[in-house]
Structure 1
Amino acid sequence: MRRTPAAPGRASPACREIVTLAVMRPIGTATRGTTNPNRLRRMDRWIAATHGPALRRADHPVAVDLGYGAAPWTAVELLHRLRTAEPRTSVVGVEIDPERVSAAKPYEREGLTFLHGGFEIPLPERPDLIRAANVLRQYDESEVAAVWRRLCTRLAPGGLLVEGTCDEIGRRHVWVALGPEGPRTVTFATRLASLDRPSDLAERLPKALIHRNVPGEPVHAFLRDFDRAWAAAAPYASLGARQRWITAVRSLSGDWPLADGVRRWRQGEVTVKWAALRPNP
């Protein structure tokens, strides 16, 4: 189809969008910026495994590492891990602190760029993935829903937002996966050898859930049941922490709507449908 040229003196819609994004003041506040290599490996591998088919269907798959911090390691690693699922994937690191963007520029390469921005996601195209790890911890719980909505409106059709929190070296991690329609699932992931009991993951609940780990709230009931299942599976500890985890998770599946199976459980993960853990009004 032949494209009608823009009228003289008037920029095309695509150009106007680029200009608007370029001059827009970034939305949000800077994080502490702390990061470590391999900190987000559990989240990255889950994304590559579960969202890989969507990336392969995209014409030009683009992922955003939002709020990557004082060093660009997480964006570099995200590119490497997503390209194991879809080699055409590009990654854009977005940071609200311009000094962090300048420091990351030397690490740019084919398929990896860094931009100054925030929750507005300053890309002319809609990305197929936005990963926001350890970004919302400093915000109030009341602000989370609005941030989720803003980020989800920037997603391409079939896109995914992954927002969550992990410890400093990535042993324990909990994240929410959202589509353009809103939250879908919550994933709990851990290094099994370091786990005393599943409720240890409570300290890494995302902001939308961390203050809801109290009696009467669904997430509290889930972690309580998980601890009980873990204790009942103690005899399997002689076969290793992985077998104990799989046994405990399997016993949960009768009462909780799990969204994954043994293949992911073996990685020290379990994913629960958001509707079962949604906070009470």
Structure 2
Amino acid sequence: MSTLDAKTRGRTSPGRLRALDAYLCRFEPGLLTRTDGPWAHGVFVDVGFGEHPWTTLESAEAFRSLHPELSVVGVELDAARAQAAHVHAGPRTHFRQGGFELPLTADEPARLVRAMNVLRQGPVERVPEVHHTLGRFLLPSGLLVEGSADPEGAVLTAHLLRRPADSADLPPTREALLFHTTFRHGFAPWQFRDWLPRDLRRRVRPGEPMHAFFESWNQVWQHARDTGYTLPADAFRESVTRLATRVSGVVVDSWLLDSGYLVWRPDGGVPP
């Protein structure tokens, strides 16, 4: 256990991260299916799967619809949880005890590392170092996904961090911020605030870029509702469409909007 690691409650629910799986399958298929050179052995790593490995197994099923031979490694800091998950292991599905210093072998480079709901506690100052540590295990242009979701998976946000293609020494680039809602609890932009990645939650205050982002989103959402878009899904779609005219980097894509996703990909990366 490194000084970066901290135990979590480890409670999760089936389906909590299915929306994230769906996004990655649609927008990162090359990352999941690439098999040239070292990518032939590239694995998906799920960090901190908790008491039960439901999310790891669900992701394995989703990603193998694109890459049937994909190897999956579930990592859990708690040794008892890791041992209990072995009942679900198979030739291409592995469960190991470990933390942010991932327990991968030399011939298991990571194409995708997911670390959801594992940084919600602890000092915010450690987040960049965790990102850098996890990023070292990625193949060039590999992806680190780190963020939070509510227990049901109704509200989710995540950093999308890309390892630079030309340097293993640099930290992963803060490429985009992903938001998703199922509308189970209705919709308002401020619902995402408490589920932002750990390093952004304290940045939602006047004068900060995240506060300006949410203020703009809330304004266009209110205007959408005032002009007849009263259903949550309709208000969401219209608000994101209008937000894209105010905030650079907001991705307008029909599948994303219809499915409750917002992707913010600002020039220069997501501001700290």
TM-score for the superposition, normalised by structure 1: 0.85
- Equivalent in the alignment of 1:6: none
Alpha-carbon distance, 1:88 to partner = 2.2
Identity of aligned residues (%): 33
Name structure 1 gaps, 5 residues minimum. Answer: 1-23
Q: Which string of whole-angstrom CA distances, capped at 9 and with x for unpartnered residues, describes residues 132-186 of structure 1?
A: 0001111211110011011111101221100000101100001001011321000
- Equivalent in the alignment of 1:51: 28
Q: CA–CA distance in 2 between the matches of 1:224 and 1:253? A: 13
Q: CA–CA distance in 2 between the matches of 1:110 and 1:26? A: 32
1:68 pairs with one of 36, 49, 53: 49
SS where residue 242 of structure 1 aligns? helix
Q: CA–CA distance in 1 between the matches of 2:50 and 2:228? A: 40
Q: CA–CA distance in 1 between the matches of 2:270 and 2:261? A: 16
- Equivalent in the alignment of 2:202: 211
For 1:95-106, list aligned pairs within 5 A.
Answer: 95-106=76-87
- C-alpha contact 2:216 2:246 (8 A) present in aligned 1: no
Name structure 2 gaps, 5 residues minimum. Answer: 165-172
Greater C-alpha radius of gyration: 1
- Equivalent in the alignment of 2:101: 120
- Equivalent in the alignment of 2:73: 92
- Equivalent in the alignment of 1:272: 264
**Which deviates more, 82-91 or 212-221?**
82-91
Q: CA–CA distance in 1 between the matches of 2:245 and 2:271? A: 19
Give the letter for the 1:127 counterpart: A
For 1:1-281, list aligned pairs within 5 A.
Answer: 28-58=5-35, 59-124=40-105, 125-181=108-164, 182-234=173-225, 235-237=227-229, 240-256=231-247, 257-259=249-251, 261-273=253-265, 275=268, 277-279=270-272
Alpha-carbon distance, 1:195 to partner = 2.6
> Considering only aligned residues, what root-mean-square deviation do their CA atoms show, in Å?
1.8
Give the letter for the 1:278 counterpart: P
Deviant stretches of 4+, over 6 Å: none
Q: CA–CA distance in 1 between the matches of 2:49 and 2:120? A: 14
Alpha-carbon distance, 1:231 to partner = 1.1
- C-alpha contact 2:193 2:201 (8 A) present in aligned 1: yes
Q: Which string of whole-angstrom CA distances, capped at 9 and with x for unpartnered residues, describes residues 32-90 of structure 1?
A: 11111111111121122222222212323410010101111111111011112322222
Q: CA–CA distance in 2 between the matches of 1:159 and 1:26? A: 25
- Report how many aligned residue pairs link the two structures: 255
Q: CA–CA distance in 1 between the matches of 2:69 and 2:179? A: 29
- C-alpha contact 1:64 1:129 (8 A) present in aligned 2: yes
TM-score for the superposition, normalised by structure 2: 0.88
